[in-house]
Structure 1
Amino acid sequence: MESFLSSKRFFSKKIFIAAMTLLVLFAGISVMKLNKTIVIDHDGQQTKVSTFAGSVEAILRKEGIQLDENDKVIPQLHEKVVDGTRIIIHRAFEIMLIDAGEEQVIYTAENTIESLLNSLGIEIDELDKVEPSLQETLLPGETVRITRVEETFLVEEQEIPFQTIIKYNDSLDHGDLKTVQEGEPGFKEVKLRIAYEDGIEIAREVVEEKIHKPVINEIIEKGTMNYIVTSRGEVRRYTEVLTMEATAYDAGFESTGKNPGDPYYGITRSGTKARPGVVAVDPSVIPLGTKLYIESMDRTASYGVAVAEDTGSSIKGDRIDLFFEDRSEALKYGRRNVKVYILE
């Protein structure tokens, strides 16, 4: 009986020892699991720590790492950590934000323009402009400008002014005007697209037009029949004006090669008597019998109304010879340029 009891005590002792061994083993494993190796990346350095702390916030507090209000920590402070967790601290820096012309100093630890705006809850509409672009890296001292762009449409009725069309009429006196058709303005509906940047209009363009009333243009006839006022105050109409070189001649031998007594002395090519107002021309330029007005171009007295009745061997092309009764007057006239008006 005693031997049985001794054996039982021995067996119980062994069980107790085994249980205690397992308990110590499990405790050791648990402790090993609670102890974690963490890397903290901050302020340009990397710190490896071994810790039993369970959250990011607890680890940073234990390590004495201070955070400013706008610093950004990844993972977040409340998150649990496991062995091998990497804690990254982004220190906040100052930037200037200009939104629709309003300036604001912002302290942020965001690394892109887009994440900055998201963190601030700032929405960007499709037409808005952001400089630098949303994907750009955000740098300390950066100026981020948001230009708010808005488009509106305006429909208005506009008057279409009529134009004046001039038509020339050679049956009307020169300078006379005659209204053939009265002008009337038209009207059109115009759809405008108006663009604003930060509330200021920057562009306006027509996107659609509808004619409600066509325009009627004014038509005016303008007389082109030419006339000239002669040195005697007479109004004479003309069809053409030529610039010619003028000389002078008389009935004498030096001009015509004929002397008094010659049956053709003082007789023109047309068979008329030479007299003041008769001129010699090139018939291929000015037909014989044409009525003319000879106007001086050098402020001397004009020869006046004339008729082309004579020719001359040296009068070719744009030359004209003016008859004077007195030889001395012909010599005095010499050679000069004149305007020759072809009269009706």
Structure 2
Amino acid sequence: MDQERAFLFSRKFLYLVGILSILFITGMGVWFYQASQPKEVQFVVNGEVKSILTKAKTVGEFLDEQSIDLDAHDKLSPSTEEKIRKGIHIAYTDQWQVTLTIANKAQTVVTNKKTVGEILAEQKVSLGKWDKVFPAENEEVSANGKIKVNRIEKKMVEKEKSIPFNEVKRTDYLLTKGSKKVVQEGKNGKALLRYQVVYENGEEVSKELTETKVVAPAQDRVVRVGALVTVSRSGADFTARKVLENVTLTAYGPNGDPENAITASGRVATAGRSIAVDPNVIPMGNWVYIEGYGYRRAEDTGSAIKGNKIDIYFSEDQDAVHFGRKKASKVYVIGPTKP
């Protein structure tokens, strides 16, 4: 009886072991089958999502399948050691170094942006109205490329400038020749100059004057210069307001008509006294001393008498013709009073 029971128990045990073995083998087969089948992976490359079937066991093997070589600047999540499972998300961002120089200050940035404008936006670099960018914003930059931003600033700058005074000389016939008298001191003025100054990276590169405003005008220095010359002639001393050199002397007469002897001043022309002059050179009514001919008075004018020319009156036409044209060495202009 005991042997029969033992036999039955043994049969049941072997039957159970057989069933478990079959289940184990079947499970392992299913597992090996499933493990050998490709798994769907959500691969995010630089923000772009792709669904890819892979037989890779790890993320590192998956990247090898995709011919992707990681470098120190690239981003990856999860790590290369992570096991591949169905539906896993793998995020990969390809990045590289770019040298960014702003206002002569260089820095190295890591980016996956391609154009200059995108890289500047990523680095939060804003450009001013006048700033210069090299290369242009729409151009692409490769790994280890260079971007340069020159900061340009324009400012209006004001500067004061001194305006030097002028010296004005005025002839004074009450002062002897060679003497001077200051009647008004000079004073410098002041002007405000406005410049548009352009700075590049903090250094001045150009400067343009845009406006000049006189704040305080300069005051001239006024000096009176003596013109009186003391002369001794014919036993008398006199002072001359003006000395004329190389004066041309001509003669005129009444032309046979005594009415022609009435001068421009209204006086009757008198020989030995009356002369015709250019009033701009010798004022009417002034006495002069003509070297070699003595004192004469400016009483008449003539259309041909211009500049350093004097016409001497003779009462006889023949005397005037005989006189002709002569050069006087000097003529002294004395004034309205005869010495």
Alignment TM-score, normalising by the size of structure 1 = 0.45
Alignment TM-score, normalising by the size of structure 2 = 0.45
